[in-house]
Chain A
Amino acid sequence: MENEFSKIYRKRIKQKKEFEDRTKKIIVTVAAILFAFFFIMPTVLTITNSFMKATEITANYGSIFAKDEKGARKYISKTVNLKFIPDMVTFEQYYTVLLKSPEYLFKFWNSMIYTVPIVVVQLMLASFAAYGFSRHESKIKDVIFFIYIILMLMPYQVTLVPNYLVSDTLNILDTRWAIWFPGFFSPFAIYLLTKFMRRVPKELTEAAEIDGAGEWEIFSKIQFPLCKGGIASILILVFFDYWNMVEQPLILLKDEDLHPLSVFLSKINQGEISLAFAVAVIYLIPPLLLFLYGEDYLVEGISYQGGVKG
């Protein structure tokens, strides 16, 4: 009899716990959905708004971009209608940007011309340097690596002054080289890639050494191929970073023709607001493709960053 009771009792407790678990799960999921909504909504809105007709945009958001005499943005108190879905889906904005306003494409091209060589050269130099750091570790190399970490951590406010000085001395201010050079030698990729390469088991390289492989062979046939995933992830991170650059061109390039689209976009004024969303989306496409294609690499790369000390 008692046994029966305790059985029922236990069942009740179990049911209660299951119910609590389920409610908890539902609450957490709903919270996560709200959060996710907050995270993707701005991007999604930008994309949907890029299919709006120019007149609709001016009517909805025109008042935001009015400016006063000084060039500062003036915020007139007029209604702003945030629209999730345009009244009429058109490609009008894209048509105008792609076929009638070459300056945007030109600036887009500038962004490409800065970012792609920087990503390629920085990663190339970084894979060499990371190999150098991960082989025959010594005290001096540790010290140098530490200097690299400090350099990596310094904000632009600090590094831009030396950058400016060097560009001035080398007479490359106001040329693309002023952006390229500091990007080529930025220690960020080296730091991450060294972490990847240090994780390659020592037995592998030692076995290769015994088999008489030279350093170049160990690099090109063992270390580099084993770190391909890491290189992909760093490539994505470096691309995002330089695609988004603002500080460097503002200081190192006075010639606005050389500015990347990121800086140019901020100078969009009322007359061009009808194109702004399409330009924003066009600017978003390269990193978006990289993200969709390489999200797993990206996650792996970020995980590695925090994983090991030093």
Chain B
Amino acid sequence: MKINSLITRRTKKPKQRVKTIGKRELISWLFLAPSLIGVFIFFVAPFMVVIGYSFLNNPIQKEFVGFSNFVNVWNNSAFRKAGLNTLNFSFTAVPLAVVLSLLLAVVMESRIPFKSFFRSSFLSPLMVPTASIVLIWQVMFHQNGLVNNVLAALGDTSKTDWLKSDKAYVVLLTLFLWKNLGYNMILFMSALAAIPKELIEVARIESAGKLQIFWHVKLRFMSPTIMFVTIMSLINSFKVFREIYLLTGDYPYDSLYMLQHYMNNKFSSLDYQMLSAAAIIMFIVVTILIYFLTKLENSYGKDVEG
């Protein structure tokens, strides 16, 4: 009897504790609820609809057409051009953004004067709205503008029309790097600062050179940050439409025709099924790219603690 009551009391008490934890957990879900509802209504649910639309002939007749929308989009020459231009830009801009910002971070880590001034000036383009700055870029890259004058002074008098030729790409790359390097630099600076000093000390005692330390110790230690910077730069490189639009308006030079332009055109003709199929193709491509990058980082940096 006594034992029995002991047992019931024992089982009762943990049960109560489980119940209170459950209540707290429930409350933590309540904190999440507003965001969950909003994200579901405004992102997840419509995305499901988009997936649905991509398999229909149009939203009114609702006839199932299999993958033909995807095939149509994929074979569409405008989409191809936009896709190739976008990927082309990303694959040049992202590596440059990563390497140059890492270089800046290393410079900032060395003993140079006016550090906070340099940090502020490298970071300042981040706050400048693109719309505010395109004017001066237009002035600088005009056929008779500053850039060509400087080039002429250096002996190159070809007078490139920067915004209306294949070189427009270079202007865009400059703008992209100008805007994003500071942000990436801060990420790398904090990663460099987080490397344990003992580790570098040990490497130095084992008579590793500066370059060796950088290559084998620091870089490996920073691999999660490198991955993060790469992903963020990739995402930002898709946003370069902003610069193109504000610089050149609705009708950009051919090599600047990006996926966002394609989407804008489809939006103006309200071609739902093509839009949906295009969005899903891009979703898949971006997901694959990110997955691939994450895998790469995992295999490269697996033996160091992130």
Instruction: Give the interface of A toward B (CB within 8 A).
Output: 25, 28-29, 31-32, 35-36, 38-40, 42-43, 45-46, 49, 61, 63-64, 70-73, 75, 77-80, 82, 125-126, 128-129, 131-133, 135-136, 138, 141, 144, 147-148, 150-151, 153-166, 169, 181-182, 184-185, 187, 190, 209, 214-216, 219, 240, 243-244, 246-247, 250-251, 261-263, 265-266, 276-277, 280-281, 283-284, 287-288, 290-291, 295, 298-299, 302-303, 305-309
Inter-chain contact B178/A291, CB cutoff 8 Å: no
Given A46-B136, A157-B238, A306-B228, does the pair A266, B249 have CB atoms closer than 8 Å?
yes
Inter-chain contact A150/B250, CB cutoff 8 Å: no
Q: Which residues of A contact B21 (CB under 8 A)?
A: 136
Contact of B122 among A35, A73, A182 (CB under 8 A): A35
Identify the stretch in B3-11, B68-76, B187-195, B200-208 within 8 Å (CB) of chain A at 4 or more residues: B187-195
Q: List 22 A-B contacts (CB under 8 A).
A: A25-B111, A42-B125, A42-B133, A42-B137, A73-B163, A125-B34, A125-B35, A132-B30, A156-B238, A161-B50, A162-B43, A165-B50, A215-B31, A240-B126, A246-B242, A246-B245, A250-B264, A266-B246, A291-B124, A291-B126, A302-B183, A306-B187
* Residue in chain A with minimal CB distance to B112: A29
Contact of B130 among A75, A246, A290 (CB under 8 A): A246
A17 to B: closest C-beta gap in Å: 13
Q: Which residues of B contact A45 (CB under 8 A)?
A: 136
Given A136-B28, A161-B275, does the pair A40, B46 have CB atoms closer than 8 Å?
no
- Whole-angstrom CA separation of A33 from B9 in the bound complex: 74
- Whole-angstrom CA separation of A263 from B32 in the bound complex: 34
* Residue in chain B with minimal CB distance to A245: B242
Contact of A75 among B41, B42, B161, B181 (CB under 8 A): B161
B110 to A: closest C-beta gap in Å: 6
Interface size class of B (residues with CB under 8 A): 35 or more
B296 CB–A CB distance under 8 Å? no
Inter-chain contact A158/B279, CB cutoff 8 Å: yes
* Residue in chain A with minimal CB distance to B188: A306
Q: Which residues of B contact A28 (CB under 8 A)?
A: 107, 110, 112
Q: Which residues of A contact B136 (CB under 8 A)?
A: 42, 45-46, 49
B121 CB–A CB distance under 8 Å? yes
Given A158-B279, A166-B41, A299-B119, does the pair A25, B137 have CB atoms closer than 8 Å?
no
Inter-chain contact B128/A43, CB cutoff 8 Å: yes
B295 CB–A CB distance under 8 Å? no
* Residue in chain B with minimal CB distance to A164: B267
Q: Which residues of B contact A182 (CB under 8 A)?
A: 42-43
Q: Which residues of B contact A155 (CB under 8 A)?
A: 235, 238-239, 282, 286
* Residue in chain B with minimal CB distance to A37: B121
Contact of A306 among B121, B140, B143, B229 (CB under 8 A): B229
- Whole-angstrom CA separation of A31 from B104 in the bound complex: 10
Q: Which residues of A contact B170 (CB under 8 A)?
A: none
Q: Which residues of A contact B246 (CB under 8 A)?
A: 246, 262, 265-266
Contact of B46 among A38, A162, A306 (CB under 8 A): A162
- Whole-angstrom CA separation of A209 from B275 in the bound complex: 50
- Whole-angstrom CA separation of A79 from B139 in the bound complex: 10
Q: Which residues of A contact B28 (CB under 8 A)?
A: 131-132, 135-136, 215
- Whole-angstrom CA separation of A71 from B248 in the bound complex: 10
- Whole-angstrom CA separation of A215 from B23 in the bound complex: 10
Given A28-B107, A136-B24, does the pair A39, B242 have CB atoms closer than 8 Å?
no
Inter-chain contact B42/A181, CB cutoff 8 Å: yes
Q: Which residues of B contact A77 (CB under 8 A)?
A: 143-144
* Residue in chain A with minimal CB distance to B47: A162
Inter-chain contact B135/A165, CB cutoff 8 Å: no
B22 to A: closest C-beta gap in Å: 9
Inter-chain contact A39/B125, CB cutoff 8 Å: yes
Q: Which residues of A contact B283 (CB under 8 A)?
A: 154, 158
Inter-chain contact B135/A132, CB cutoff 8 Å: no
Inter-chain contact A46/B112, CB cutoff 8 Å: no
B152 to A: closest C-beta gap in Å: 13
Inter-chain contact B250/A71, CB cutoff 8 Å: yes
CB within 8 Å of A: which B88-143 residues: 104, 107, 110-114, 117-140, 142-143
Inter-chain contact A29/B127, CB cutoff 8 Å: no
Inter-chain contact B125/A161, CB cutoff 8 Å: no
- Whole-angstrom CA separation of A284 from B49 in the bound complex: 39
Q: Which residues of A contact B66 (CB under 8 A)?
A: none
Given A161-B276, A166-B42, A185-B38, does the pair A284, B31 have CB atoms closer than 8 Å?
no
Given A158-B282, A246-B131, does the pair A128, B49 have CB atoms closer than 8 Å?
no
Given A80-B139, A280-B131, does the pair A266, B245 have CB atoms closer than 8 Å?
yes
Name the residue in B43, B135, B241 with the highest tally of chain A Cβ atoms < 10 Å from its Cβ: B135
Besides the known contacts A39-B122, A129-B31, A182-B42, 19 further A-B residue pairs in the complex with CB atoms under 8 A apart = A35-B104, A61-B139, A64-B142, A71-B250, A71-B251, A72-B251, A80-B144, A125-B35, A128-B34, A136-B25, A157-B259, A187-B35, A209-B24, A246-B241, A276-B135, A284-B128, A306-B190, A307-B225, A308-B306
What 8 A-B pairs come out closest when comparing CB atoms? A132-B32, A185-B38, A162-B46, A303-B190, A132-B31, A155-B238, A129-B35, A262-B131
